[in-house]
Chains A and B, each alone.
Chain A
Amino acid sequence: MELIGERINGMFKDIKEAILNKDAAVIQYWAKRQEEKGAHWLDINTGPTVSPEEQPAVMTWLVQTAQAASTLPCCLDSTSPAAIEAGLKVHRGQALINSTSAEQSKMDIYFPMAVQYGARLIGLAMNEAGVPKDAAARAALAMELVVNADMHGLAMEDLYIDPLVLPANVAQDHGPEVIEAIRQIKMLASPSPKTVIGLSNVSQRCNERRLLNRTYMVMCITAGLDSAIVDMEDDLLVDAAAATEILLNRSIYCDAFLKTFRQR
């Protein structure tokens, strides 16, 4: 289970201010902190306050600043292809692009970009018509992503499909559909594409957010979820991910399994 630390995102007040003031210390604190907590990737998102023209420069600065403090690869999170490409140019190691949708115009930009920079790519199971209602429609869009990956020569293991999780309080019926979609996505190709979700979405504006996140993550891992964008400050969530790996026989059991999971 790959955990993508969500914290370096301009939606958070301290990150937004750090970007405005070019305060590297805050970025580096969260880069290091999330690595210590057991993250495998650092999500990097400039946030909505940065203007479109400034996005590439801010992305470049964030990636370089974060990687100066941490050995982790980054998940470059932006809707601007220019910002993504700017991040890829300075990124050390194999980056993860977040994201393309199943719209052909977007796939035509991002798949060649991923192949060119040797990066991995998150593909959202949605298109211009919006977020699908049921599992079958999500899987059909995932299939479009799979076929495009195959066409462009992106290794199936480097494609992360996001079936799009919605909040439990307003879109409760989507919960089981996403789990079923994960199950189907894992069967679209062999080797199968990977799967990812933006976990915290499931509990937007709900009570007991961490309980909902943790429980839903375990359910999704059982269906075949490979990675999630998560709050690394939630120690019980990381514990649950470690325990699930053990119970699904994906890691060999040892008494110190919580510790070894965080040290991988």
Chain B
Amino acid sequence: MALTGLEIFKQLPKTNCKDCGQATCLAFAMALATGKTSLDQCPHVSDAAREVLDSASAPPVALVKIGVGEKQVALGNETVLFRHDKRFENPCAIAVSVSDMLSEIEVYDRVAAINGLVFDRVGQLHGVNMVAVVNSSEDADRFALVVQTVAAASELPLALLSDDPNAIEKALAIVSAKKPLVGPANLANYEAMTALAKMYEAPLLVRGSDLNELASLVEKVAALGWKQLILDSGARSVSRVLADQTQIRRQALKRFRPFGYPTIAFAANADSMQAVLDAGVYISKYAGIVVVDSIDRADILSLVTLRLNIYTDPQKPIAVESKVYEILTPGPDSPVYITTNFSLTYFCVAGDIEASRMPGYLLPVDTDGVSVLTGWAAGKFTAEKITEMLNSCGIADRVSHRKLVLPGGVAVISGRLEELSGWEVMVGPSESAGIPAFIKQRWGA
């Protein structure tokens, strides 16, 4: 996004010296904003100003990658405050903590459990993305040992959490090839931490005690030449985290460079129900990484599901998988209903079949997730496509009859569908709410 005239003008020396060829600095700012000249034309602009103006072309939230290979986590590149404005780009990473106070066996068991936190959602596998090793022992050697164990037991990218540069250095010496997230860098240790992160090219977690300190700390770290950063405002109560996350995203979108990085949030509540709810807030409100302490599948499933929903593209219709769905417990004589795989359409029909109390099979034809009439108008819901699904999905082996119910809105294709498929087509009601009455009167009559 280009800078506005006012933003450019504020960075100019305001000498009105005309060396740039324009009558005034203001005119030069206008010419720059409209792309009619270049910044090089002004010999008096300061390096700081040049940097500000150059960075304007960078995205508002930097892209930061943690880990390597297939399980690498990419965060950032976000451009909106609300998902309906465009979409949220990179799903936040869920990290589970592992304390280095645990025994070798306990670490091994916990990491095995974390590796298993993978779930099938709408036909894809989704799960936990990172393991966060926490240096609670404050013993650098102990920390390095546990990091080594975790790295050997899991392919997930790591976060190495210790404010002791010595501990981070020992751990990095072992696992730097995996490009783990390291930190936190704080006011006391940032020089050593930044040097380590830079040397091993590892993304760095920067932690301030509040937003002001965080902003100045990020500027110091950036001045040392490292910009693969993850932000932590230090807030831990939900209300404070919500406020800080919102500020960081809002200011980043306004091109406040120190906040132009993904964030990390910690959902560490002793009450596991509360911890899940807190993590839910952070997933919804801009966190790049959410660190949780639970390895309970019930806790993680709800978070994985929420993340999947929040990070779907609102501009694309949501589709259900195109396959045979059993509603209630149908038998060989139960009716077969045809619809499309637009999730809204599917759930309307499924709900109304259930309301009829007569078990049935529901076949959502793959229309790229558009509704019955949209699919029909776009040539995606045709007699040919329905026939193809009838033949390929195996429904013929599951019922003893050859009768299907077609949505009333596309009654016009019933003749061709009968010819092509060889199935008897019953034209159902235009609205699925009419299914209960329709099926009682017509099925088996």
A interface with B by C-beta (< 8 Å): 136, 139-140, 143-144, 146-147, 150, 184, 187-190, 192
For chain B, residues 1 to 35, give those with C-beta under 8 angstroms from any C-beta of chain A. Answer: 2, 4-7, 9-10, 26-27, 29-30, 33-34
**Is the pair B26, A188 in contact by a Cβ cutoff of 8 Å?**
no
Q: B254 near A: Cβ within 8 Å?
A: yes
Complex Cα–Cα for A136 and B26 (A): 13
**Is the pair A146, B30 in contact by a Cβ cutoff of 8 Å?**
no
A-B complex: 6 closest residue pairs judged by Cβ atoms? A189-B6, A188-B5, A189-B4, A190-B4, A143-B5, A146-B6
CB distance from A130 to the nearest CB of B (A): 18
Complex Cα–Cα for A151 and B246 (A): 28
Given A147-B9, A188-B4, decide whether A140 and B33 contact each other with a Cβ distance below 8 A.
no
B interface with A by C-beta (< 8 Å): 2, 4-7, 9-10, 26-27, 29-30, 33-34, 254
Q: Which of B2, B9, B30 contacts A139 (CB 8 A)?
A: B30
A187: nearest residue on chain B (CB-CB)? B4
Complex Cα–Cα for A192 and B33 (A): 14
Given A184-B34, A188-B33, A190-B254, decide whether A150 and B26 contact each other with a Cβ distance below 8 A.
no
**Is the pair B254, A147 in contact by a Cβ cutoff of 8 Å?**
no
Besides A143-B26, A150-B6, 17 more A-B contacts (Cβ < 8 Å) are: A143-B5, A143-B9, A143-B30, A144-B26, A146-B6, A147-B26, A150-B10, A184-B34, A187-B4, A188-B5, A188-B6, A188-B33, A189-B5, A189-B6, A190-B4, A190-B7, A190-B254
Complex Cα–Cα for A184 and B30 (A): 10
Complex Cα–Cα for A184 and B6 (A): 12
Residues of B within 8 Å of A150, CB to CB, are: 6, 10
CB distance from B147 to the nearest CB of A (A): 44
B253: nearest residue on chain A (CB-CB)? A190
Given A140-B27, A190-B254, decide whether A147 and B6 contact each other with a Cβ distance below 8 A.
yes
**Is the pair B5, A187 in contact by a Cβ cutoff of 8 Å?**
yes
CB distance from A89 to the nearest CB of B (A): 31
Given A143-B26, A143-B29, A147-B26, decide whether A189 and B7 contact each other with a Cβ distance below 8 A.
yes
Residues of B within 8 Å of A189, CB to CB, are: 4-7
Residue from A144, A184, A187, A190 having most chain B Cβ neighbours under 10 A:
A190
CB distance from A112 to the nearest CB of B (A): 19
Complex Cα–Cα for A144 and B7 (A): 13
Residues of A within 8 Å of B2, CB to CB, are: 187
A185: nearest residue on chain B (CB-CB)? B5
